[in-house]
Amino acid sequence: MFNNIIKIKKDLVKKNQKKVLLVINCLQGGGAERVVLTLGQGFYELGYEVHILRFKPRVEYDLNPNLIYHMLKFKHYKLIPELDRREKFFARALDNYITKKIGQPDLILSNLDRSDSVFSYSRLPNIIYTIHNTLSLLYKFHDIDNNQSKLNFANIYSKHPCLCVSDGVQKDFIKSFGDITPTTAVHNPIDRDHIKKLADAFIPEYQNYIIHVGSFKKAKRHDVLLNAYAQTDQSMPLLLLGKGKYRRDIEQLVIALNLEDKVVFLGFQENPFPFIKHAQFKVLTSDWEGCPLVIPEALAIGTPVISTNCPSGPSELLPKSNLMQIGDIDAIAKKMGQAMKNPQQFYSPFDEALLPVSIAKKYIAFAASA
């Protein structure tokens, strides 16, 4: 009888356990996708029942067994003409799925534009959008041809409160759309212990090198990085970790700059952290970011970082002395040269306020006040 009483109590606790649902289009190799999984662990450690729902099947990350995973395919709804009509129909199906399979979450966190657009038609409560990037730069709001795009985003984001991943992202959001909804800024969570464990998985064959981690896309400005690196003495090789549609262009630039013996293309690495840990320093040359994970992740394993001073992110994570002017090849080359001579002068400690539990608490506080 005593065992039955314990079982009944456990069932009641589970029944009354708070639930959080994190929704994203897929779990395929991106920063926002990694944030969703890390934040989910933070909520789990706070005692929440954590659900992750995606719209596409592909997964490129190891799935945390503490979280509960769902998939509701959007693909079938693409047969419906007109984007707004198909998203309305899908939102209705999504609401039904959540209600029947999960129940009523205490908090629903929508991530990235596909999920955000769908949830603008949802009738469920407790929805918050997580804004992962400086939208005006990502979607080129300054271009007069994109006025309609800006209006569409304003309509979507006016429906629910918005949590921005950095002060810069929040300022950009308000500048772009005005005071259309409650907003706040909360940095991305970093699971330091997990990163340290991954970083010890192996020792790279390379030694005494610089590393850049990022997709080959325009915002990352690999072209600026390589032109700056070409101006240094190249006393350390430069390792480029990532994939993307502009890789071929960057490979051609390496040849044009006669850097074939100095630049190594590592491609996509399922576990990049050993490469980051054993680098002398990490460099970031982006024109814009939201709140780049690669900075605090490097700091979590003791690797110094120098970065361009993007409109959002780096200046909130690094000392002023570690920052460089965007697009300034001479300044970047000078800073890289200094780092090659003495990497540790750019060491910066990891901020424990970025740990998953601390960040999850900030999400909860914002949800309560919004």
pLDDT in tens, 328-337: 999 999 999 9
Does position 348 have pLDDT exceeding 50, yes or no?
yes
182: which 2 tokens?
Answer: 């409650």
**Burial class (CB within 10 angstroms; exposed 0-12, middle 13-18, buried 19+) of 329:** buried
Q: What is the CATH number of domain 192-351?
A: 3.40.50.2000
Q: Is residue 112 very low, low, confident or very high in pLDDT (cuts 50, 70, 90)?
A: very high
Does position 300 have pLDDT exceeding 50, yes or no?
yes
Residues near 211 by Cβ (< 8 Å), separated by ≥ 6? 238, 239, 241, 275, 276, 279, 281, 282, 283, 303
Q: Is residue 14 very low, low, confident or very high in pLDDT (cuts 50, 70, 90)?
A: low
**Burial class (CB within 10 angstroms; exposed 0-12, middle 13-18, buried 19+) of 143:** exposed
Q: What is the CA radius of gyration of the chain?
A: 22
Question: Within 13 A of 244's CA, how many CA atoms are on the CB side?
Answer: 21
Q: Is residue 15 very low, low, confident or very high in pLDDT (cuts 50, 70, 90)?
A: low
Domain 192-351 in the same topology as domain 2-189+355-369: yes
Domain ranges of the chain: 2-189+355-369, 192-351
The helix (run of H) or strand (run of E) holding residue 273 is: helix 273-277
Residues near 80 by Cβ (< 8 Å), separated by ≥ 6? 86, 89
Does position 198 have pLDDT exceeding 80, yes or no?
yes
Q: What is the pTM of this model?
A: 0.91
pLDDT tens-digit profile of 234-285? 999 999 999 999 999 999 999 999 999 999 999 989 899 999 999 999 999 9
Question: How far apart, in whole angstroms, are the C-alpha atoms of residue 111 and residue 127?
Answer: 11
Domain 2-189+355-369, what architecture? 3-Layer(aba) Sandwich (3.40)
Mean pLDDT across the chain: 93
